[in-house]
C-alpha cells in the first residue's frame, strides 16, 4: 500500500460525517466487500455515501455507496446507462450530486464553493473517453499547462515533468506534435500523461479506450497497467475491457440501474458472480 | 492662320486690357530706358502661358497651353517681322497663331503671314508695324517641356535697320508634368485607345485615360475608407467581445441588454443607422466630425455582428474542453484565456474576415451623408466627366482589398480544417451541414452553454466548415 501523501490543511468535515467515525463504519462494513488488506484506522481515499443523481426527472444514480482505498485499482463494469460514468464524474464534481455525500481524503466535497472545487480537482485527475486534449497546444504543452497554470510550477520544471511523463507513456518523440497529428491511442496516452503530471491522489478513467480503434486499445491499456502496477496510483476505471479488469483490478464493481449490484475481487466476480444480473451481463459480453 | 479683329463687347474688354497692357508697356519701356541695352526697336512687354485645362492655376509641361507674347515698337522704329523662339523642348502644332496689333487704344488691321519652323515661329507683316504699336502674339496648342522649370521666350525681329535680337521675355514658370499626366498624354496619342474608346460601352465604362486619372483622384477617398474601417474594427472587436460575453452571461438582465443591442443593430439597415446618427445628432446640437462619426457608426454596427460570431465561436468549443480544463483544476478565467479563447480565435478568423470585408464595403454608404470616401469621389468625378469609368476605378479599389482577403479566408479555413482533422471524436455532421467554403452567420437565440441541443446546433452552424472527419464517433457506437 502506498503511503498517504501529506495533504494541506483539511477542510472541516460535517459533524454528521465525522471522518474517523465514518471510516470505522466503512472499515467494518466494507471489509468483506473490498477483499482488500488494509490496516485498521486507514481511511478510504474516496468515500461515496448514499449518492443520488438525477437529470431532470431521470434518476441516474440511486443511493450508491462505495469506498476506494489508497493505491487500489477499482474497475467499474456495467451496461450502458447504468450510471458508471455519472458516478465517476460526480467524484470530481463535473456533475453535482443531487443528494448524498462524497468524501475525498476525508474531506466533504459536495456543496463546496467554486474555488474549493478547483482545488479539489487538481487532486483528482481524469482521463476522458474522447481524450479532450487541447487541440491548439502540442502534446508537451498539453501536459505542461496544468502544471504551470494550476500548480504554478516554473516552465522548466513543468517541461521536465512533461518530458518524463510523455516518456513514461512512450511518446517522447511526439512531444511537439499537435493532437490532430496523433492517432487516437497516442492522444489518449498524452491525456493520461497530462493527468498523471498533476500527481493527483486519485485518477479517474472514463471509458478511456471506447473511442479507439481496436488495434490502438492495447497501447493505452499497457500504459494504464504500468501505472497501476508500478506507481501505486489510486485508480477508478470505467471500462468494457474485461481482460484489463481481470488482470489489473484489485476490485471489480458491477453497476446496473444506478446502483452497485455486486463487487469483489475480479476472479470471484468473473468466475462466480453472485448476482444474476452480473452473470447475465458478463455472459453477454463474453 | 488667323488674323482676327475683336468687335463689340469683346472689343471693349480688349481695349481695357490693352490700356492696362499699354500702361505696363510704358512701365517696362521706362525701366528699360534706364538699362544700358535699351537701344532696341522692339521691347518685350510680357510673355505668359495660360493654365492648362486640367492643371488648376498652374501651367503643366507637355500639355496644351496658350502662349501670349507682347511687345511694343519703340519710337521712331518700324518692325516688319518677328521671330519667336520657343524654349528648347517646347512644341506647337503651328496651326493657330493669333496676332493683335494695337496702336494706342485702337486696334488696327494688319496683314501678313505666320510661318512655323521647328521651335520658332516667324510672323511677317505686309506693312511694317509703326512705332508705339503693341503687338500681341498668341500661340495656341503649344506645349512646354514636360520637365517643367522657368522658361523664357527669345527671338529676333526685323526693322528697317536689319535683324535685331529680341530681349528675353520674363520667365514663365512651368510645373513639371506628373507621370500620371504623361500616361494620359501618351494614352491620348495611342491608336488602340482611340479604337477602344470608339466602342460606346468601353468608352463609357472603361475609358483608359479616365481610369488612370480616376485612380489618382479616388486615392484620398480610398485611404479614408481604409482608415475608417481600420480604426473602427478594433473597437468593433472589443465591443463585440463585450456583448458576446454579456449574451452568454448567467444574469438575465445582462443577457437581455446584449440581445436588445445585437438584435436592433442586426435587424435594421446600416443605411438607416447612418441617417439616424448623422442627422439626429446635429439636431441635438451634437456636432461630431463626419469621419469620426463614420468610424463610430461602423464600429457599433460591426460589433453586433461580431458579438454573434464570438458568442457562437465560444459556444462551439466542445464541452469536453471545459471539462478537461476543469479536471486539471483550472478556474474559469484560466480556462477561458488559456483554452477556450485561443481555440475560438482560430475558428472565428474566417468569419470575422468575412465580416471585415462586409464592413469595408459598407463604408460606401457613408457617401450618402457627405463623408468624402471612395464612393463620394467616384460619384463626383462621374458627374464632372459624364463617364462611368470612375465607378469602375472605385470597384477596382474595393477589389484590391477584398479579393486578397477572400483568398485569406479560404486558406485559413482549409488550414483549420486540416489541423483539426482527426482531432478526436466530434459530433456527427448534420445532414444539412454547410459547404466547406461557405461561411455562415451563426444561428440566433442559442443562449445556453449547457444545453446539448444548442451545443450541437451551434457547432453545426459555425464549425461545420472546419470539421471533415467525424467517423470516429461511429467507432464509439460499435464498441458500446
Taking only the tens place, the pLDDT of each residue in A66-120 is 989 888 999 999 998 899 999 999 998 899 898 888 888 888 888 777 777 888 8
Q: Same structural domain for residues B244 and B387?
A: yes
Q: Same structural domain for residues B377 and B449?
A: yes
End position of a domain, from candidates B150, B174, B198: B174
Q: Kindly tell me if the per-residue pLDDT of B2 is higher than 60.
A: no
Q: Enumerate the residues of chain B whose CB falls inside 8 A of the CB of residue A135.
A: 343, 419-420, 423-424
Q: Same structural domain for residues B364 and B235?
A: yes
CATH of residue B64's domain is 2.60.40.740
pLDDT of residue B463: 43
Residues B414 and B437: beta-carbon distance below 8 Å: no
Residue position matching grid coordinates 481695349: B15
Cα–Cα distance, B80 to B158 (Å, whole number) = 6
Instruction: Report yes or no: A285 at the B interface, CB cutoff 8 Å.
Output: no
Cα–Cα distance, B203 to B200 (Å, whole number) = 5
Output the average pLDDT for chain B: 78
Quote the domain boundaries for residue B170: 42-174
Q: Same structural domain for residues B167 and B222?
A: no
List Cα–Cα distances, B251 to B247, B257, B258, B448, in angstroms. Answer: 9, 10, 11, 12
Within-domain flag for B246: yes
Question: Under an 8 A CB cutoff, do B328 and A194 touch?
Answer: yes
Q: Which chain B residue lies closest to A186 (C-alpha atoms)? A: B424
Within-domain flag for B223: yes
Q: Kindly tell me if the per-residue pLDDT of B112 is higher than 50.
A: yes
Q: Same structural domain for residues B347 and B278?
A: yes
ipTM value for the complex: 0.84
Higher-pLDDT residue of A170, B10 = A170
Question: Under an 8 A CB cutoff, do A135 and B420 touch?
Answer: yes
pLDDT of residue B155: 85
Cα–Cα distance, B168 to A239 (Å, whole number) = 107
A276's grid cell: 444474476
In chain B, the N- to C-terminal Cα span, in Å, equals 104
CATH of residue B262's domain is 1.10.3720.10
Question: Under an 8 A CB cutoff, do A198 and B329 touch?
Answer: yes
Instruction: Report yes or no: A148 at the B interface, CB cutoff 8 Å.
Output: no
Average pLDDT over residues B286-291: 91
Cα–Cα distance, A245 to A239 (Å, whole number) = 8
Within-domain flag for B185: no
Cα–Cα distance, B288 to B275 (Å, whole number) = 14
β-bridge partners, B117? B120
Q: What predicted TM-score, i.e. pTM, was given to this entire model?
A: 0.63
Within-domain flag for B429: no
Q: Same structural domain for residues B65 and B123?
A: yes
Testing the interface with A: which of B328, B342, B451, B475 to mutate, by most A Cβ within 10 A? B328
Residue B146: phi and psi, rounded to 5, are -65, -30
A222's grid cell: 499497457
Q: Same structural domain for residues B170 and B221?
A: no
B396's grid cell: 477596382
Question: Under an 8 A CB cutoff, do B327 and A94 touch?
Answer: yes
Number of domains in chain B: 2
pLDDT digits (tens, 9 = 90+) for B407-445: 998 888 888 777 666 443 343 333 333 333 333 334 333
pLDDT of residue B24: 52
* Residues in contact with B351: Cβ distance below 8 Å, sequence separation at least 6, in sequence order: B309, B313, B439, B441, B442, B462
Residues B34 and B130: beta-carbon distance below 8 Å: no
Q: Same structural domain for residues B163 and B227?
A: no
Within-domain flag for B26: no
Within-domain flag for B454: yes
Q: Same structural domain for residues B128 and B72?
A: yes
Q: Judged by CB atoms within 8 Å, which residues 280-319 of B form the interface with A?
A: 318
Q: Same structural domain for residues B124 and B250?
A: no
Among the partner-chain residues B343, B472, B479, the one whose CB lies closest to the CB of A135 is B343
Q: Same structural domain for residues B165 and B219?
A: no
Within-domain flag for B273: yes
Q: Enumerate the residues of chain B whose CB falls inside 8 A of the CB of residue A130.
A: 318, 320, 424-425
B360's grid cell: 469595408
Residue position matching grid coordinates 441588454: B257
Q: Same structural domain for residues B224 and B274?
A: yes
Amino acid at each position: 500500500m502506498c503511503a498517504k501523501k501529506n495533504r494541506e490543511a483539511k477542510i472541516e468535515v460535517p459533524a454528521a460525517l465525522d471522518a474517523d467515525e465514518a471510516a470505522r463504519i466503512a472499515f467494518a462494513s466494507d471489509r468483506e466487500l473490498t477483499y482488500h488488506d488494509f490496516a485498521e484506522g486507514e481511511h478510504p481515499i474516496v468515500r461515496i455515501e448514499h449518492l443520488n443523481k438525477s437529470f431532470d426527472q431521470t434518476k441516474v444514480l440511486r443511493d450508491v455507496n462505495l469506498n476506494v482505498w489508497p493505491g487500489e485499482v477499482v474497475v467499474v463494469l456495467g451496461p450502458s446507462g447504468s450510471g458508471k460514468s455519472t458516478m465517476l464524474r460526480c467524484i470530481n464534481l463535473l456533475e453535482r450530486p443531487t443528494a448524498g455525500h462524497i468524501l475525498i481524503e476525508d474531506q466533504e466535497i459536495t456543496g463546496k464553493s467554486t474555488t474549493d472545487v478547483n482545488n479539489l480537482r487538481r487532486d483528482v485527475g481524469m482521463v476522458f473517453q474522447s481524450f479532450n486534449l487541447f487541440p491548439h497546444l502540442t502534446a508537451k504543452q498539453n501536459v505542461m499547462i496544468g502544471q504551470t497554470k494550476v500548480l504554478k510550477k516554473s516552465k522548466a520544471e513543468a517541461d521536465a515533468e512533461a518530458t518524463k511523463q510523455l516518456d513514461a507513456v512512450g511518446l517522447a518523440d511526439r512531444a511537439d506534435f499537435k493532437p490532430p497529428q496523433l492517432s487516437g491511442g497516442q492522444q489518449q496516452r498524452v491525456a493520461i500523461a497530462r493527468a498523471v503530471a498533476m500527481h493527483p491522489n486519485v485518477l479517474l478513467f472514463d471509458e478511456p479506450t471506447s473511442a479507439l480503434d481496436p488495434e490502438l486499445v492495447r497501447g493505452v491499456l499497457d500504459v494504464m497497467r504500468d501505472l497501476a502496477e508500478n506507481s501505486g496510483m489510486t485508480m477508478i476505471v470505467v471500462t468494457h475491457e474485461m481482460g484489463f479488469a481481470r488482470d489489473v483490478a484489485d476490485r471489480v464493481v458491477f453497476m446496473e440501474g444506478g446502483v452497485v449490484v455486486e463487487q469483489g475481487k475480479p476472479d470471484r466476480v468473473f468466475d462466480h458472480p453472485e448476482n444474476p444480473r452480473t452473470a447475465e451481463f458478463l455472459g453477454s459480453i463474453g | 492662320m488667323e488674323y482676327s479683329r475683336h468687335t463689340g463687347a469683346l472689343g471693349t474688354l480688349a481695349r481695357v486690357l490693352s490700356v492696362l497692357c499699354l500702361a505696363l508697356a510704358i512701365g517696362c519701356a521706362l525701366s528699360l530706358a534706364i538699362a544700358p541695352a535699351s537701344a532696341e526697336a522692339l521691347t518685350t512687354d510680357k510673355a505668359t502661358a495660360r493654365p492648362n485645362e486640367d492643371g488648376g492655376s498652374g501651367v503643366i509641361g507637355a500639355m496644351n497651353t496658350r502662349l501670349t507674347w507682347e511687345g511694343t515698337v519703340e519710337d521712331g522704329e518700324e518692325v516688319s517681322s518677328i521671330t519667336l523662339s520657343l524654349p528648347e523642348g517646347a512644341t506647337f502644332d503651328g496651326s493657330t497663331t493669333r496676332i493683335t496689333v494695337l496702336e494706342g487704344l485702337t486696334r488696327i488691321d494688319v496683314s501678313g503671314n505666320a510661318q512655323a519652323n521647328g521651335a520658332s515661329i516667324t510672323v511677317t507683316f505686309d506693312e511694317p508695324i509703326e512705332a508705339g504699336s503693341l503687338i500681341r502674339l498668341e500661340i495656341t496648342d503649344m506645349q512646354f517641356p514636360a520637365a517643367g522649370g522657368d522658361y523664357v521666350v527669345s527671338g529676333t525681329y526685323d526693322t528697317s535697320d536689319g535683324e535685331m535680337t529680341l530681349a528675353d521675355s520674363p520667365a514663365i514658370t512651368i510645373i513639371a508634368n506628373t507621370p500620371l499626366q504623361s500616361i494620359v498624354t501618351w494614352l491620348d496619342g495611342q491608336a488602340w485607345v482611340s479604337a477602344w474608346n470608339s466602342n460606346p460601352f468601353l468608352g463609357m465604362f472603361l475609358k483608359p485615360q479616365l481610369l488612370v486619372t480616376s485612380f489618382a483622384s479616388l486615392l484620398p477617398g480610398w485611404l479614408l475608407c481604409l482608415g475608417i474601417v481600420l480604426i473602427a474594427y478594433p473597437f468593433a472587436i472589443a465591443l463585440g467581445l463585450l456583448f458576446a460575453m454579456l449574451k452568454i452571461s448567467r444574469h438575465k438582465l445582462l443577457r437581455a441588454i446584449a440581445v436588445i443591442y445585437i438584435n436592433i443593430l442586426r435587424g435594421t439597415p446600416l443605411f438607416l443607422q447612418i441617417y439616424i446618427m448623422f442627422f439626429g445628432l446635429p439636431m441635438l446640437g451634437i456636432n461630431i466630425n463626419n469621419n469620426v462619426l463614420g468610424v463610430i457608426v461602423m464600429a457599433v454596427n460591426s460589433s453586433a455582428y461580431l458579438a454573434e460570431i464570438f458568442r457562437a465561436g465560444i459556444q462551439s468549443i466542445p464541452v469536453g474542453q471545459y471539462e478537461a480544463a476543469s479536471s486539471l483544476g483550472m478556474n474559469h478565467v484560466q480556462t477561458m484565456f488559456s483554452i477556450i479563447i485561443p481555440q475560438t480565435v482560430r475558428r472565428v478568423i474566417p468569419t470575422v474576415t468575412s465580416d471585415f470585408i462586409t464592413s469595408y464595403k459598407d463604408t460606401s454608404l457613408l457617401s450618402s451623408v457627405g463623408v468624402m470616401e471612395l464612393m463620394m469621389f467616384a460619384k463626383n468625378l462621374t458627374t464632372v466627366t459624364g463617364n462611368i469609368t470612375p465607378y469602375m476605378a472605385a470597384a477596382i479599389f474595393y477589389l484590391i482589398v477584398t479579393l486578397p482577403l477572400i483568398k485569406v479566408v479560404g486558406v485559413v479555413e482549409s488550414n483549420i480544417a486540416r489541423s483539426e482533422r482527426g482531432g478526436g471524436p466530434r459530433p456527427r455532421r448534420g445532414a444539412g451541414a454547410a459547404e466547406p467554403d461557405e461561411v455562415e452567420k451563426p444561428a440566433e437565440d442559442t443562449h445556453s452553454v449547457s444545453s446539448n441541443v444548442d451545443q450541437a446546433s451551434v457547432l453545426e452552424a459555425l464549425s461545420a466548415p472546419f470539421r471533415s472527419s467525424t467517423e470516429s464517433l461511429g467507432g464509439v457506437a460499435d464498441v458500446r
